[in-house]
Amino acid sequence: MRALIILTLLAVWVMAAICYESHESMESHEYHNPFLSRRRANDFIQADARLEAFSQERIRERIKAPQERQREICEDYYPCELYAFRHGYAAAYKHYFGKRRTK
């Protein structure tokens, strides 16, 4: 009988130790409501910075460096691309497209 009481108390003590939730785990507001509203989620981002970054990205897409345009032209033409692997894109572009003549 005495062993049964000790075993029961030990089981209760182990269960209390395992199932105990500390105060630190309850401090987070996410514990009760893990989802934020759209307005609160975007509070830390400034609207001006987002719009400015978006417009700068669009400007960069429209205005490409001449070397980048030449490289894209060379990549579209397979012999030029093969030549570029060996000699570089600048030399390949000059070799295939640098001597263009119009009549």
Segments making up each domain of the chain, as ranges = 65-102
Alpha carbon 29 to its chain's center:
26
Count CB atoms within 10 A of the CB of residue 60: 10
- Rounded CA gap, 73 and 44, in Å? 42
More confident residue, 31 or 65: 65
**CA torsion sign, 19 to 24 to 27 to 28?**
negative
Q: Any idea what DSSP says for residue 63?
A: S
Q: Which residue has the tokens 């397979």?
A: 78
Q: What is the pLDDT of residues 65-95, one digit of tens each?
A: 888 888 888 989 999 999 999 999 999 999 9
pLDDT tens per residue across span 2-27: 888 999 989 888 888 787 666 565 55
Q: What is the mean pLDDT of the chain?
A: 77
Q: Which of the two residues, 52 and 84, has the higher pLDDT score?
A: 84
Q: What pLDDT score does 31 carry?
A: 54
Tell me the pLDDT band of 100, cut-offs 50, 70 and 90: low
